[in-house]
Amino acid sequence: MKDNNSSRRKFLKLGLAAGATALIGGGGKVLSAVSNPGQASGETGEKVKLLSPDGTLVEVDKGHCHACPATGKEARQGIPNKKMVMVIDLARCRNARKCLEGCQSMHHLPPKIEWIKFFLLRDSKDTSPYWFPKPCFQCNNPPCVKVCPVGATFKRTDGIVLIDNDRCIGCKFCMAACPYSSRVFNWGSPDQEPLPADKKYSPETSWPQKVGTVGKCDFCPDMVRQGKLPSCVTSCPNGVYFYGDKNEDTVTNGTETVRFSEIVQQRAAYRYMEELGTEPGVYYLPPVNRLFDYKVGFQDLKPEEIQLYKKEANLSE
Amino acid sequence: MEYNSKTYKNYETFKPQLESIGRYGYFFITAMVMIIAWGTYALYTQLSKGQVVTGMRDYVIWGIYDANFIFFIGISYAGALISGILHLLRVEWRHPILRMAETITVISTLIGPSYIFLSMGRLERVWHLFVYGRIQSPIVWDVIAISTYLIGSFIFLYLACVRDLAFMRDHPIGIGRWRNRIYKFMSANYRDTPKQRELLNQLIDLISIVIIPLAILVHSVLAWIFGMTLRPGWHSTIFAPYFVLAAVYSGTGVLILVMFVFRKIYHLEAVITKNHFNYLGILLMILGALYGYFTFSEYLTNWYGSVKWDMEVLYRLFDASTYWWWFFFSAFIGVLLPIGLIAMPRLRNINTIVFAALIAVTALWVKRYLIIIPTLETPLLPLHDLRPEFASYSPSWVEWSLTAMGIAIWLLLFFLFSKFLPIVPVVRVPVSEERDYFKLRKLARERILRRLISKTRKEKNVVVGIVILMILSSSLVCRAQDPVKSRLKLEFLNKSGTRMLTTKLTSKKDDQTIPLQGMQVSFFIQGEKDKVLLGKESTDEAGKATFTLPGKLDVPRNKEGKYSYSATYEGSKEFQPSESSTEIRDVFMKITFSQKDSSKLINLFAVEINQKGDSIPIEGSTVIFYVPRTFSSLKIGEQAVKSGHADLDFPVTLPGDSAGNLPVVAKFEDNDNYGSAEVSATMAWGKPLPPDVIIKRGLGDTNAPLWMVYTLIVLLSLVWFHFTYAIITIFRIRWLGNKALKEEQAQIGSK
């Protein structure tokens, strides 16, 4: 066990980040193996491609892939030279809620834990309501991080705000501080699929959730390390979510890949409640030229839910 | 050591109280212990099941625990501020009530913070505060401030007890040797020598001065927990002074109640007189007026500015279906009634003052509830939650039980303390030793007021929502086990000269395409006559299998100059076999870069290989240019290849790595002839990426801003300098007493 750990540590020190894009040869050469992770036991023989911090693709044994999500100090630092952003196209959202389902299955969450929330917003009585899916905004000036008494929630260089469930004392101050109600609390047991014995807890996977601690959307840094898109992005049937690295000036919803600066400038993107000074990392494209009428979003809802939404949005009919 | 007759007279009043608990006393203790036992059960429930047993949920994350916390810290002001200020002003009538006030402080400061622990999700990780504590967090300010305050108020209480402890040591009571030992130990050898007396008086004055700013800071810090958030109703600049005032108000109220109770049960009418009630009543009235002024100012500003969220909280407070009656009680009755009762001399008597204090204290508890809950029920984004317990808060039995437990412990500790030391100081410091600055005018008149009963109770609409967890679909019913059709798709990929065959194996189930994992796929190439097996690969979890072709293929090209590849899946019991094939002509591609004047170009050179193996420039096919990115490829343009060449402007505005290195890819995509063929090259013409900026100090960083660190160090050293001085001086008094005793004994011996 000890050997296993130390080799994992060594492996981590290599600073391997993820990125198995591999589709188009990427920016680099494909190496056959990383400087001898083969010494370690538990190899499967299968190879997985990962992106190293300097941008080259490397291939490692799949048996080491549990090292993909960083743990410990490394998880607090962030993936080097990245700045993750999200662009949400409100014109395409019809409240299908597939993103939430994807999120829950990816993070092994039971239906009662919702990290993405859906609002029917209406800016004024004269305007039309629109659906507003809301992940954690990963603010650049995060009020939640400021108030944490133990540094259990932290802002990383890659722009992601994470929670260390092993450190959180459950004071809920971060929840009070978050103006966007993005955080949820594990009031009771999370009733979650347990972490396999060979895997280690990492704030990057947010799995497992622990009773008496805070949880939230984590922007899936473990997926970023593997060059994969978060589940909310890939499971959205309408391509609402664009995710990407601001340092690459590129965001993608899985099918379309666009320049971040172009899409936010041309489509007048805004950040929700910018006036609070939180500097969110999630941009919204205004709901103009919509693909769906907002009423389409009611079709999968329960009657009492529809009533609640209508009440909050001041809809009479 | 000599005591005057008045001291003995005082002592006679208390001796029976100290020596026996009495029938009612035992009854009281039993009752309190029962409540505490019940509370312990509630605590066990919460600790074992988590906070799910409370009424708190994701929106209302703090509940009556936190209201209790503010409340107890608030009433602790009785000792700190009231006794501190009265002592410094040398108010003559203060002596009988000082000890009560200071005891309120110590006990409340013990009970209050325990509610913060109850409100924590992981109680067993409290030590994280000391290991990982960040001084940017108001909670850490609180931990530091309250613990310092607790130590300070304990020292304050102790100093005021030293004379009595010495008296008790000199006059052992009948029961319990251990008590006499404690008296002896704690009396610090105080023998009232001139030097000891001087030191003690000096210390009490010093700690009274230190405890006042400390107390103000404690409640300010508490207010800042709320004030530092961006929530409507909390994010207010007057919150700190508002909390301080509310605290003194409720502290004075509790002091009046405590005086009343002890006066009744210990028959202290001679010691705690009508005047004490009058004086404190007037203080209560003044504080009530100030508190009312702050309340008015706070809500007027919010209402006048009418910011959307502030208004939503106000609507909640003024809506009869939510909090209006609570608000009415706390902001109107709780202020106006005490003022009215005490301001009018005709109404003012002990009973009305006590009643006014009771109203003030209850109103202030309600006020704390109204600070926390309505704001949390008004998030900035709409509260769309069908679960009624998420949408609005009502405390659960666990929370009420633990609240009752806290009050029970408070009462019990107070009672036990009054059995240990006289609740009114027995030994009085001669007035001549102190300077009097201030005297309140005597005011007295007694009248009886009709009792007012005001019961307000909030009725909440309970919405019952039924959540359906699972819908069993009929598709789960088993069907006949015929093999299902499978589908294989073969694609060719030429990646910078490395040729690969990729397949995707899928099947359809309930109109959904599912990948088949772990299946064996065989790859073939068409030889002169037969298919030649290239190799076998098994599919991954996405149903994909990839085979890399060797650099040289030992089969001839067909007439069109193409190779014919195929892949087959042999099928299994569950899935039918399937196959797929494709014909591909090999290409050779190369990217170079060129700069002409100000334009930077990507130059692609592409040729196809004919039957004989000769290179022929490609004509007409469309090539697409990409920049590879973390998740996908960003298309930067497309061109039709003309006589083997295609050029495109280099995307100079795109960021590359720190040196500006930007890889570009040229690709024929699903081309009928070439399949997918691509080539990549890197050039340092992109925008260089600035290195990650790591800010070392700041509110959101691991290390705090320096001014914060310095402020904390200065404040703590100031306070602890005085505390240390006090502790050292206590030991000095002890030493001086020992010396005096020895001299005395030596004198007796020499005689």
Task: Examine the pLDDT at B566 and tell me if it is beyond 70.
Answer: yes
- The answer to whether A24 contacts B667, with C-beta atoms less than 8 Å apart, is yes
State whether B64 and B189 are in the same domain. yes
Distance CA A278, CA A159 (A): 13
- The answer to whether B50 contacts A187, with C-beta atoms less than 8 Å apart, is yes
State whether B446 and B523 are in the same domain. no
State whether B34 and B44 are in the same domain. yes
B496 shares contact with chain A (CB less than 8 Å): yes
> Which of these ranges, A62-66, A153-157, B95-99, B435-439, has the smallest mean pLDDT?
B435-439
Across chain B, which distance is largest between two alpha carbons, in Å? 138
Counting DSSP H helices and E strands in chain A, the numbers are 9, 13
- The answer to whether A312 contacts B629, with C-beta atoms less than 8 Å apart, is no
In angstroms, the separation between the Cα of residue B53 and the nearest Cα of chain A is: 8
pLDDT band at B507 (very low <50, low <70, confident <90, very high): confident
Is residue B473 domain-resident?
no
At A202-216, the pLDDT tens digits run: 999 998 999 999 999
- Asked which of B531, B551, B585 is the last residue of a domain, the reply is B585
- The answer to whether A185 contacts B58, with C-beta atoms less than 8 Å apart, is yes
CATH number at residue B626: 2.60.40.730
B143 interaction partners in chain A (CB closer than 8 Å): 149
Distance CA B116, CA B556 (A): 81
State whether B356 and B491 are in the same domain. no
- The answer to whether A21 contacts B386, with C-beta atoms less than 8 Å apart, is no
- The answer to whether B121 contacts A212, with C-beta atoms less than 8 Å apart, is yes
Give the neighbor-by-neighbor strand order of the sheet with A282-285. Answer: A257-259, A250-252, A241-245, A84-89, A282-285
A162 shares contact with chain B (CB less than 8 Å): no
A45 interaction partners in chain B (CB closer than 8 Å): none
Closest residue in A to B56 (Cα–Cα): A187
Closest residue in B to A175 (Cα–Cα): B61
A244 interaction partners in chain B (CB closer than 8 Å): 629-631
Nearest to B137 among A148, A273, A304 (CB): A148
Nearest to A257 among B225, B465, B633 (CB): B633
Is residue B508 domain-resident?
yes
State whether B165 and B28 are in the same domain. yes
Task: Examine the pLDDT at B560 and tell me if it is beyond 70.
Answer: yes
Task: Examine the pLDDT at B385 and tell me if it is beyond 90.
Answer: no
Overall number of domains in chain B: 3
B136 shares contact with chain A (CB less than 8 Å): yes
B692 interaction partners in chain A (CB closer than 8 Å): 78, 80-81, 157
Is residue B475 domain-resident?
no
- Count the neighbouring beta carbons within 10 Å of the beta carbon of residue B357: 28
B397 shares contact with chain A (CB less than 8 Å): no
State whether B431 and B546 are in the same domain. no
State whether B253 and B240 are in the same domain. yes
A147 shares contact with chain B (CB less than 8 Å): yes
Which run of H or of E encompasses B740? helix B706-750
A177 shares contact with chain B (CB less than 8 Å): yes
Position with higher pLDDT, B115 vs A72: B115
- Provide the mean pLDDT of chain A: 82
At B2-14, the pLDDT tens digits run: 777 878 888 888 8
A170 interaction partners in chain B (CB closer than 8 Å): 51, 120-122, 125
Please tell me the total number of residues recorded for chain B in this structure. 751
Q: Which of residues 35-64 of B touch A (CB under 8 A)?
A: 49-52, 54, 56-59, 61-62
pLDDT band at A49 (very low <50, low <70, confident <90, very high): low
What would the 3-class secondary structure string for A117-158 be?
EEEEECCCCCCCCEEEEECCCCCCCCHHHHHCCCCCEEECCC
Is residue B469 domain-resident?
no
A310 shares contact with chain B (CB less than 8 Å): no
State whether B256 and B351 are in the same domain. yes
Count residue pairs from A and B with Cβ separation < 8 A.
235
Domain with B96, as residue range(s), is 5-464+703-745
Are B543 and B516 spatial neighbours (Cβ–Cβ below 8 Å)? yes
Q: Exposed (0-12), middle (13-18) or buried (19+): which is A213, by Cβ within 10 Å?
A: buried
- The answer to whether B58 contacts A175, with C-beta atoms less than 8 Å apart, is yes
Task: Examine the pLDDT at A13 and tell me if it is beyond 60.
Answer: no
Is residue B25 domain-resident?
yes
- The answer to whether A304 contacts B386, with C-beta atoms less than 8 Å apart, is yes
B300 shares contact with chain A (CB less than 8 Å): no
- The answer to whether A147 contacts B383, with C-beta atoms less than 8 Å apart, is no
In angstroms, the separation between the Cα of residue A118 and the nearest Cα of chain B is: 8
Please tell me the total number of residues recorded for chain A in this structure. 317
In this prediction, residues B16-22 reach a mean pLDDT of 84
State whether B223 and B84 are in the same domain. yes
B655 interaction partners in chain A (CB closer than 8 Å): 247-249
- Provide the mean pLDDT of chain B: 87
B380 interaction partners in chain A (CB closer than 8 Å): 179-181, 273
Q: Which domains does chain A have, with CATH numbers?
A: 2-68 (no CATH), 84-285 (3.30.70.20)
pLDDT band at A25 (very low <50, low <70, confident <90, very high): very low
A312 interaction partners in chain B (CB closer than 8 Å): 382-384
Q: Which of residues 261-280 of A touch B (CB under 8 A)?
A: 273, 276, 278
B307 shares contact with chain A (CB less than 8 Å): no
- The answer to whether A168 contacts B635, with C-beta atoms less than 8 Å apart, is no
Q: Which of residues 96-115 of A touch B (CB under 8 A)?
A: 111
Task: Examine the pLDDT at B319 and tell me if it is beyond 50.
Answer: yes
Distance CA B77, CA A269 (A): 51
Closest residue in B to A54 (Cα–Cα): B657
Closest residue in B to A50 (Cα–Cα): B630
In this prediction, residues B413-432 reach a mean pLDDT of 82
Distance CA A162, CA B700 (A): 13
In angstroms, the separation between the Cα of residue B160 and the nearest Cα of chain A is: 36
Chosen for mutation from A21, A114, A166, A171 (greatest number of chain B CBs closer than 10 Å) is A171
Task: Examine the pLDDT at B484 and tell me if it is beyond 50.
Answer: yes
- The answer to whether B700 contacts A228, with C-beta atoms less than 8 Å apart, is no
In the chain, the amino acid numbered A8 is: R
Partner residues linked to B532 by β-bridges:
B525
- The answer to whether B381 contacts A180, with C-beta atoms less than 8 Å apart, is yes
**The pLDDT of residue A57:** 54
Measured in whole angstroms, the distance separating CA B36 from the mean position of its chain's CA atoms is 27
Residues of chain B above pLDDT 90, percent:
56
Task: Examine the pLDDT at A36 and tell me if it is beyond 80.
Answer: no
Is residue B619 domain-resident?
yes
- Asked which of B557, B585, B613 is the last residue of a domain, the reply is B585
pLDDT band at B443 (very low <50, low <70, confident <90, very high): very low
Distance CA A175, CA A22 (A): 39
At B701-714, the pLDDT tens digits run: 888 999 999 999 99
Residue A239 phi/psi, 5° resolution?
Answer: 65, 40
- The answer to whether B495 contacts A25, with C-beta atoms less than 8 Å apart, is yes
Give the SS3 label for residue A316. coil
Residue A123 phi/psi, 5° resolution?
Answer: -70, -40
Task: Read off the DSSP letter of residue B744.
Answer: H
CATH number at residue B186: 1.20.1630.10
**The pLDDT of residue A61:** 54
Could you give the residue ranges of the DSSP H alpha helices within B228-349? Answer: 239-265, 274-305, 308-318, 324-327, 334-343
Task: Examine the pLDDT at B657 and tell me if it is beyond 60.
Answer: yes
> Which of these ranges, A31-35, A90-94, B63-67, has the smallest mean pLDDT?
A31-35
A47 shares contact with chain B (CB less than 8 Å): no
- The answer to whether A117 contacts B384, with C-beta atoms less than 8 Å apart, is yes
In this prediction, residues B474-486 reach a mean pLDDT of 56
Are B380 and A273 spatial neighbours (Cβ–Cβ below 8 Å)? yes
B682 shares contact with chain A (CB less than 8 Å): yes
Q: Exposed (0-12), middle (13-18) or buried (19+): which is A141, by Cβ within 10 Å?
A: middle
Distance CA A295, CA A90 (A): 14
State whether B156 and B264 are in the same domain. yes
Pairing type for strands A130-134 and A117-121 reads antiparallel
In this prediction, residues B78-107 reach a mean pLDDT of 87
Closest residue in A to B628 (Cα–Cα): A26
> Which of these ranges, A25-39, A244-258, B594-608, has the smallest mean pLDDT?
A25-39
State whether B316 and B406 are in the same domain. yes
Give the SS3 label for residue B54. coil
- Asked which of B559, B585, B611 is the last residue of a domain, the reply is B585
Is residue B370 domain-resident?
yes
Partner residues linked to B492 by β-bridges:
B501
Distance CA A161, CA A153 (A): 7
Nearest to A149 among B56, B133, B701 (CB): B133
Task: Examine the pLDDT at B696 and tell me if it is beyond 90.
Answer: no
- The answer to whether B120 contacts A169, with C-beta atoms less than 8 Å apart, is yes
State whether B559 and B608 are in the same domain. no
- The answer to whether B137 contacts A146, with C-beta atoms less than 8 Å apart, is yes
Is residue B46 domain-resident?
yes
pLDDT band at B42 (very low <50, low <70, confident <90, very high): very high
Closest residue in B to A276 (Cα–Cα): B230
**The pLDDT of residue A60:** 58
Give the dihedral sign, CA B320/B321/B325/B326.
negative
Q: What is the ipTM of this complex?
A: 0.83
Position with higher pLDDT, B672 vs B476: B672
**The pLDDT of residue B383:** 83
Measured in whole angstroms, the distance separating CA A56 from the mean position of its chain's CA atoms is 23
Give the SS3 label for residue B403. helix
pLDDT band at B612 (very low <50, low <70, confident <90, very high): confident
B143 shares contact with chain A (CB less than 8 Å): yes
- The answer to whether B132 contacts A189, with C-beta atoms less than 8 Å apart, is no
In this prediction, residues B646-665 reach a mean pLDDT of 92
